[in-house]
Structure 1
Amino acid sequence: MSLKTLVIGASINPSRYSNKAVKKLLENKVEVKALGIKKGTILDVDIVTTKEAFENIHTVTLYLNAKNQEEYYNYIVSLKPKRVIFNPGTENIAFEKILANNAIKFEQACTLVLLSIGAY
């Protein structure tokens, strides 16, 4: 099973957790797509700035606060991911309800921790 992951809130800044997550996902042999507000590249992953119609996304991992997630609600639901991870600081009860209504699983967790303990 492919765990193809879309990182939303991706940054070229190596001190940002979204950047660390992209690198850790690649290290764990997970196919990664990245969406951010500025174009750039993390290792060999290009950060896109438009809501592309990626196919077969298993997991969306969020690095945007609740307010900044609003413009992505319909986009994320349209991708039909198997799950959405709300990383620390991204918790959003309103979006969780939307996901639940669309039969999309979600969890409040840390992508980096899940990868480090083999629970991704």
Structure 2
Amino acid sequence: MDTTRIDKWCWAARFFKTRSLATEAVDRGRIRLNGERTKPAHSVKPGDRLDIDNGATEWEVLVIGIADKRGSAAVAATLYQETEESVQRRATQAERHRLFREPSAEIKGRPTKRDRRLLDRSSS
């Protein structure tokens, strides 16, 4: 097998939980093939570069292997190689997220009227 549909490949490589989510992402332009927007039925082959944004994380990967069936995570990891820039960008994003303190972290359960006032005062 030399090629497969881009939506099938993204699903098989475990960037999306369902194939319909992968198809929707391609339609919305969140997956770019070699820097260009494409359609879900477009074929992907080894050597292609994909920019993938699944809403939570952004990846820049090079396609190494082809699969049209979803396998284990270990198999999925062998289908692509993430670029160095992408790894660094995700690491800094994770670090920034780790250092950000959620305002509601100190509040246990539903905020009281006093807690709500404190939250409103700190956000403005």
Structure showing the higher helix proportion among its residues? 2
Does TM, scored on the shorter chain, surpass 0.5? Answer: no
**Bigger CA radius of gyration:** 2
TM-score by length of 1: 0.31
